Amino acid sequence: MRTTAAIIAVFMGLLTILVVLLGINDTIHAIIGFGERLVSNNKEVKVGLMILEALDFFMIALVFLIFTIGIVSLFIKHEDKKFQDSLPAWLKVSSISELKFLVMQSIIATLFIFSLSYIASYNAEPALDWLYLPGSILLLSLALFILMKGESKK
């Protein structure tokens, strides 16, 4: 079980690094776009959208990082308590259930940021399509709230 957890943690760590690099790439493009907009006053360059897209990548990387740290802290034994003590209180998980709720919360936050960039990139007039993603995020949030309520009663 430890070996499987270690393999998962290594690959999730690599994915985290890759997604952070994508976020850095988008951030650099946003900075260049900002400079271009300042210099040439080009209104076609949507710097805000570029920043939101970079934030999407960083939020996805955060979800991967939270999952990786949770897997490591749950399944890989640490002889000294330095690893657990170095984690912030909100990241200390003692069960798969706690990790599941933490990952679900971070996924919902990521989806919220993604929906902002989706709406900002939409070139047409406001339509019913705009409500699908925020509506699904609302339903996921309600489901998480109900699950957490039920879990706290146990």
Q: What is the pTM of this model?
A: 0.83
pLDDT value of position 84: 80
Sign of the dihedral through C-alpha 6, 11, 14, 15: negative
Tell me the pLDDT tens digit for each residue of 12-51. Answer: 999 999 999 999 999 999 999 999 888 888 777 788 889 9
Tell me the pLDDT tens digit for each residue of 63-113. Answer: 999 999 999 988 887 776 788 888 898 888 888 989 999 999 999 999 998
Tell me the pLDDT tens digit for each residue of 99-154. Answer: 999 999 999 999 998 888 887 777 667 777 778 888 899 999 999 999 888 877 76
Shortest CA distance to 106 belongs to which of 72, 58, 73, 74? 58
Q: Is 99 in contact with 75 (CB distance < 8 Å)?
A: no
How many angstroms separate the CA atoms of 74 and 77, rounded?
Answer: 8
Q: Which amino acid is at 93?
A: V
Q: Which 8-state DSSP code applies to residue 87?
A: S
Element (H, E) at 44: none
Q: Which amino acid is at 41?
A: N
Looking at the 3D structure of the chain, how many domains does it have? 1
pLDDT value of position 26: 96
96-108 burial, b for 16+ CB within 10 Å, e for fewer? Answer: eeebbbbbbbbbe
For residue 6, the SS3 value is: helix
**Enclosing domain of residue 148:** 2-153
pLDDT value of position 142: 93
- The CA angle 90-96-101, to the nearest 5 degrees, is 50
For residue 109, the SS3 value is: helix
Q: The tokens of 49 are what?
A: 């959208």
pLDDT value of position 154: 64
